[in-house]
Amino acid sequence: MTSNAIEVVDVSKRFVLSHAGPSSLKERFVSRSASPRGEDTDLWALKGVSLEIERGETFGLLGHNGSGKSTLLKCIARTLRPTTGTIRTVGRVAALLELGAGFHPELTGRENVSLNASILGLDEAEAESRLPDVFGFAELAGFEDTPVKHYSSGMFARLGFSVAMHLEPDTLLVDEVLSVGDESFQRKCLGEVRRFQREGRTIVVVTHSADMVRHVCDRAAVLDHGELQMVGPPPAAIRTLRELLNKRGLEIPREMGSAANLEQAQAIVFTDVQLRYNDPQRPWLNPGDPLEIVVSYDASQPMDDVAVAMEIHDSGGNRLLGVNSDLLDSAPNSVDGTGTVVIRLESVPLLGGSYSIALGLHNHDVSVSYDHREEAASFRVENSTPLDGRVQIPVSIRW
């Protein structure tokens, strides 16, 4: 008996992308006779992934869009079957791949909860005994006998989350669904995740949020084009992910990727980044010092639809500041050829530590990313104050 909740051994998953879509016999027949083969292309969404997730562990899955995170989660949840390799799971596994999946709009909340419970293999009596908890947590007491088609989308999502949490699975698989509902419900969800952790249950969570990984996960893995890049503690995983995105030079936003966009995308690029400190002899900061970031660019054509964006991250990948020139009403008239733009931080109220700067160039509606550099530069702050922690908050204590 191992102490692993999930063992993924050399798992690969191939999707066959058929261009017509196998929806009718006639299409099948016609396309078979017209072109015997070659219409289908293979896509390997996972390539030889091996992972061991321990019992009681909270495990993060990171990676760019399309890197295979959801595919891996679905293989573990048994809704997809790996092309090769094996996956072993221990105990009851519940998947939150989509909130409220399997809810039937015509049925009442109560009927849907009992249906969901039986999908997880609970019997009628067990399901019945959990009903008050499920509706209590979802703040839906009184709505048990309302058909869920009359629920608001937030209520629907809350019930979906609540069901998954209260049917007490041994392992919970979560795919980017912890960010539903209003803020207070999100806090409750996080509290519920903590309870899960305390109870020694296993959680696997797919997320794009570095904060989430840092604060919730014990370990994390990074996927890149279906290949496992690394498994390790969250800060290291976040760094690996940033480096991966950086190496590619461009972080392609979700809706991008067409050829036209890519052509445009090279219209303006970063050429250099310099940090200007108060005292050039001292290439670090003390809390409260100003800092100037001098960014050089090269535009291949005259353009005015451009904005510069900057983020500051701490060593754990937490975003401390995010800003762009549009937010500050500071759009350039026009840029052409080489030039520089200066981002001035009047005061950096950080205590000791090292911090990284990410830079981006995008158009005004952020539909095109011209250039993007994670870890474009980094700076160090020497704590010259008696305070402890991350942020220099002016403070006094009176008796």
Partner 1 sequence: MRSSESRLRFVSGELSDLGALPDVVDVAAPRSISQRARDVVAHRSLLANLVRRDLRVRYKGSVLGFFWSLLNPAMYLVVFSFVFTVFLPARVPLFGIFMLSGLLIWNFFNGSLAAASNSIVENRALVQKVWFPREILPLAALGSALINMFLQAVVLVIGSLAFRNAPDVRALPLVIYAVIATAVLAAGLGILLSALTVEYRDVSHLLDVGMTAWFWMSAVVFPFGAVAVKLGENQWLAFLNPMLAPILAFQRALYDPAPSLPGETPIIPEESLAWYYGRVSITLAIGVVILFIALRVFARREDSFGDQL
Contacting residues toward partner 1, per CB under 8 A: 1, 11, 15-16, 22-26, 28, 55-56, 74-82, 85-95, 97-98, 101-102, 104, 106-107, 111, 114-115, 118-124, 126, 147, 170, 198-201
159-176: buried (b, 16+ CB within 10 Å) or exposed (e) per residue? bbbbbbbbbbbbbbbbbb
Q: Tell me whether residue 22 or residue 257 sits nearer to partner 1 (CB atom).
A: 22
**Residue ranges that bind ligand ATP, judged by CB under 6 A:** 15, 17, 43, 45, 63, 65-71
Length of the chain: 399
Of 79 and 338, nearer to partner 1 (C-beta) is 79
Structure tokens at 62: 């990171």
CB of 206 to ligand ATP, least distance (A): 6
Say if residues 99 and 157 touch (Cβ distance below 8 Å).
Answer: yes
Task: Kindly state the helix (H) or strand (E) to which residue 116 belongs, with its residue range.
Answer: helix 109-119
- Closer to partner 1 by CB, 77 or 245: give it: 77
Which residue of this chain has its Cβ atom nearest to Mg ion in the complex? 70
CA dist 36 and 43 (Å) reads 20
- Residue 75 or 134 with smaller CB distance to ligand ATP: 75
**Strand order across the 268-276 sheet:** 268-276, 291-303, 335-345
User: Which entry of ligand ATP, partner 1, Mg ion, none binds 23, CB below 5 to 8 A by partner kind?
Assistant: partner 1
Q: List the interface residues with Mg ion, window 15-74 (CB under 5 A).
A: 70
Nearest distance in Å: CB 65, ligand ATP? 3
173 is in the binding site of which of partner 1, ligand ATP, Mg ion, none (Cβ under 5 to 8 A by kind)? Answer: none
State which residue, 45 or 265, has the beta carbon closest to ligand ATP: 45
The CA-CA-CA angle for residues 150, 184, 106, to 5°, reads: 15
Q: CB of residue 172 vs ligand ATP: minimum separation in angstroms?
A: 17
User: Smallest distance from the beta carbon of 13 to ligand ATP, in angstroms?
Assistant: 8
User: What are the phi and psi torsion angles at 31 (to 5°)?
Assistant: -70, -30
Sign of CA dihedral 356, 361, 365, 369: negative
Long-range contacts formed by 124-129: CB under 8 A, 24+ apart? 127/167
Least distance in angstroms from the C-beta of 43 to ligand ATP: 5
Binding site for Mg ion (CB under 5 A): 70
